[in-house]
Structure 1
Amino acid sequence: MQNVNSCKKRMGRLPKAAIWVVSIIAVVILTAFVFQEQIFTFMANRIIQQRLLSQTYKKDDGLYAGLAGTGAPFADINRTGPCIVVEAGNHLYIFDAGPGSARNIGLMGFDLGKVNAILLTHFHSDHIAALGEMMLQRWAGGSNAEPVDVIGPKGVETVVEGFNHAYSLDAGYRVAFHGAATVPPSGAGGRARPFDLSSEEDASMVVVDKDGARIIAFKVNHSPAYPAVGYRVDYKGRSLVISGDTVPCQSLKKQAQGVDVLLHEAQQPVLIKMLHDQAGLSSSPALAKITADIPGYHTSPEDAAKIAGEASVKHLVLYHILPPIPPVFNHMFLGDAAKYYKGPITVGVDGLLISLPVNSKDIIFHQTVVLRGIL
């Protein structure tokens, strides 16, 4: 009987508690409505301050790789086109210019106005589409009086010339509006810096050597996209390799020997086949042929894992993810990769920052940009 009375008392108190909760919520909503302009102004100022201060924050000395774009040509809510930002000491380099990646660079806290050079792996559209925007932001954002160097294999001259021509009217408008002191006309666009590798399959050459930062370009196989290259970056004892688009090749394994991080493109053939098998449902008449062709000039997670294992890589990071996959299913994308590489494997997403501090063996991962997708 006593338990029954106790239960009734608690039930009697519930409506009062509910009234208090509803009242508090109502007061909060009313306050937010009444002071919405002040709240918005406060929050806007804080966001602006954080964005601007993030570009002036000085990192500890080290080698940093920011994944500004980890996707492929297929639309992906969590991944823009391939682009990796590398900071080595006081120097900033961009590798590839996939569509949408330029905005992620700013969101990650990198200052496009301070970019020393843009390096291209090859000239497929999904690796160059944002080049014009990057050149523009580097010029206007830094009031630079000289064009940015665009380094790449032979053919880069054609690409840079095309973007310079396409953006020439825009450059004129900006000078007329902002003035030559803010946007010096001489700094608009890019300046092609082509290199030509020898005929050997494992040919390589140094394309940047400045203040301890050394960048080597080496041949990869993305035929019929030729020439195509990958890059190795070394800085004060830390190192990383960027594969670019390629099938497994000896030159890449050679350059990846012992590096801290191998950033390797990856396509999952099992998932590509599933897409191919359903291609008839698409309105695109080309999808079946395209999905049949894709595996022929890319690398699977399993093959990337084999390279990482044979090269004694410390950490394997996959990017240029194909087909699109929600991050919650990243483990499914890896397939049997763990059978061939016993080290850590990370499936890249936009906004991921990899830190390699000098005088250390640490490899630190930090997500700088909130994912846009639900999963």
Structure 2
Amino acid sequence: MLASFGVGAAAASLAACSPASSAASTASAASRRFGPLPLSGQQTKLVLLGTSGGPPYWPGSERQGISSALVVGDRYYVIDAGHGVMHQARKAELGTKFETDMEGPLDALAGIFLTHLHSDHVVDLNNILSEGLYNGLQSVDRIPIWGPGNRGQVPELFGPGLPPEPVSPGNPTPGTKEMTDLIVQAFATDFNDRLFDNRKPRPEELWEAHDVPVPARYMKDPNTDPCPEMDPFTFFEDDYVKVSATLVNHAPVFPALGYRFDTDAGSVVFSGDTGKTPNIISLAKNADVLVHEVIDKSWPESLFPEPRDEAQEGLYQHLIQAHTVIEDVGPIAQEAGVETLVLSHLVPGNRPDEVWEACGEGFDGRLIIGHDLDVIGIGS
């Protein structure tokens, strides 16, 4: 079951909510400042496939790994591929053949966009690629896969001591295109079995991976300036969406990207993993929806309780600066002038909604605390 909400002109009145949002969610609707709404036939909608943040499988939480889908007409685009994407896409009834064995839900997949290459954002990319042929992935049009390029150098060692030998020293920081090629190499036995025994298409007939072309002037030194202030740039456009990107502050990860999708119905922005940065405000300016990550800093405080030594303080600051704390999220959305703020990539993923309600402080728009399989209609 899906919980459905409306954004835009159709959101002026309140109606009944799908049961999937749970009694607790419905009871707190007033304080979250959104009304549960039907989709009203909207053809453009945001589907939260997974809303958990980070690699932990949080105790007591059923949230799946971070991933969203933007549905535009008869196709959809996936943003990040955390654990559970394939199952969630079927549960969300994406595509046109989600009820047919081996023909959905990937029959309408039109693109994959990765914000950065941490495992919790890419771990199920392989599942989409290697099992896609048996879940609707077609060779009619190659699916574009976009994400950050090669970092160029390993991060500096955090804390004192001698740096370790890097993993895969010949290519320690592959970008999206290289990573995708390496997935094919790693699963060549499977791909060749499908090719020779099942007469399935070759991988390169199904998708094409690309590194997002961040302008060179912003790529100078990932260790000292991983998020220079910049204007968003457009790198992808088809008949349904125009996609722009900016660097975000998830140091030492580089490049880490936020994305903006502009459609005829409205605009949706995904922050990716980031600390507070003016780049997100520029990217999200006057957007209909901003999907933003958040961290409850009481969690790192519990990991590193005071008094902290220098190393512990460094680790604590590292966590809260590479993510956005609760008190900063609302003001970011307010300054950007967005209509609706949707919280996703919740760290930790097992906090009750009441904790996240504080993200609405300093924000005059609608706040939606994201849950897996929520559906948010875009436009009137």
What is the TM-score when the length of structure 2 is the normalising length?
0.69
Q: Which residue in the other structure is 1:253 paired with?
A: 281
Q: Which amino acid aligns with 1:69?
A: G
Q: Which residue in the other structure is 1:184 paired with?
A: 201
Map Cα deviations across residues 151-191 of structure 1 (whole Å, 9 max, x no partner).
112121221122111222122233455x32xx323556642
Distance 2:313 2:344 in 1: 24
Q: Is the alpha carbon distance of 1:107 and 1:301 closer, same or farther for their aligned partners in structure 2, counting shifts above 3 Å?
A: same
Q: Is the Cα contact below 8 Å between 1:238 and 1:259 reproduced in 2?
A: yes
Distance 1:240 1:301 in 2: 21
Q: Which residue in the other structure is 1:108 paired with?
A: 92
Q: Which residue in the other structure is 1:196 paired with?
A: 213
Q: How does 1:121-200 map to 2 (within 5 A)?
A: 121-142=115-136, 144-145=138-139, 147-154=142-149, 155-177=175-197, 179-180=198-199, 183-186=200-203, 190-198=207-215, 199-200=217-218
| 1:291 Cα offset (Å) | 5.8
Distance 2:288 2:322 in 1: 26
Distance 1:299 1:208 in 2: 27
Q: Which structure: larger Rg?
A: 1
| 1:257 Cα offset (Å) | 1.4
Q: Which amino acid aligns with 2:191?
A: A
Q: Is the alpha carbon distance of 1:186 and 1:346 closer, same or farther for their aligned partners in structure 2, counting shifts above 3 Å?
A: closer
Q: Which moved more, 1:165-174 or 1:256-265?
A: 165-174
Distance 2:312 2:204 in 1: 42
Residue 97 in structure 1 maps to residue 81 in structure 2: yes
Q: Is the alpha carbon distance of 1:334 and 1:61 closer, same or farther for their aligned partners in structure 2, counting shifts above 3 Å?
A: closer
Q: Is the Cα contact below 8 Å between 1:69 and 1:81 reproduced in 2?
A: yes
SS at match of 1:142: coil
| 1:207 Cα offset (Å) | 2.4
Q: Is the alpha carbon distance of 1:255 and 1:292 closer, same or farther for their aligned partners in structure 2, counting shifts above 3 Å?
A: closer
Q: Which residue in the other structure is 1:356 paired with?
A: 378
Q: What percent identity do the matched residue pairs reach?
A: 27
Residue 331 in structure 1 maps to residue 360 in structure 2: no
Map Cα deviations across residues 21-79 of structure 1 (whole Å, 9 max, x no partner).
xxxxxxxxxxxxxxxxxxxxxxxxxxxxxxxxxxxxxx945321111111121213321
Residue 82 in structure 1 maps to residue 88 in structure 2: no
Q: Which moved more, 1:255-264 or 1:87-96?
A: 87-96
Q: Is the alpha carbon distance of 1:259 and 1:143 closer, same or farther for their aligned partners in structure 2, counting shifts above 3 Å?
A: closer
| 1:137 Cα offset (Å) | 3.9
| 1:231 Cα offset (Å) | 0.6
Q: Which amino acid aligns with 2:64?
A: T
Distance 1:287 1:142 in 2: 48
For structure 2, the residue ranges without an aligned partner over 5 or more in a row are 1-39, 95-104, 150-174, 219-228
Q: Is the Cα contact below 8 Å between 2:106 and 2:137 reproduced in 1?
A: no
| 1:287 Cα offset (Å) | 10
Q: Is the alpha carbon distance of 1:105 and 1:341 closer, same or farther for their aligned partners in structure 2, counting shifts above 3 Å?
A: same
Structure with greater contact order relative to length (CA < 8 Å, sep ≥ 6): 2
Distance 1:290 1:100 in 2: 29
Q: Is the Cα contact below 8 Å between 2:248 and 2:277 reproduced in 1?
A: yes
Distance 2:183 2:355 in 1: 39
Distance 1:269 1:292 in 2: 10
The partner residue of 2:48 within 51, 67, 79 is 67
Q: Which amino acid aligns with 1:151?
A: W
Q: Is the alpha carbon distance of 1:263 and 1:193 closer, same or farther for their aligned partners in structure 2, counting shifts above 3 Å?
A: same
| 1:208 Cα offset (Å) | 2.2
Q: Which residue in the other structure is 1:214 paired with?
A: 242
